[in-house]
Amino acid sequence: MYYIFGLYCSTSLNTELALLFITYKYCWHY
């Protein structure tokens, strides 16, 4: 249960970082 929770948090964090990176690239482009 703890492993699944940790995996979920890790995936959520990676998704948020990826979204932030894409937004940054998009804003930097224009």
Q: Give the pTM.
A: 0.48
Residue boundaries of the structural domains of the chain: 1-30
CA-to-CA distance for 15 and 25, rounded, in angstroms?
15
Query: For the chain, what's the residue count?
Result: 30
Q: How far is CA 4 from the centre of its chain?
A: 17
Query: In the structure encoding, which two tokens stand for residue 15, read together?
Result: 């998704």
Predicted pLDDT of residue 9: 63
Predicted pLDDT of residue 12: 72
pLDDT, tens digit, 9 for 90 and up, residues 1-30: 566 666 666 677 778 888 888 888 887 765
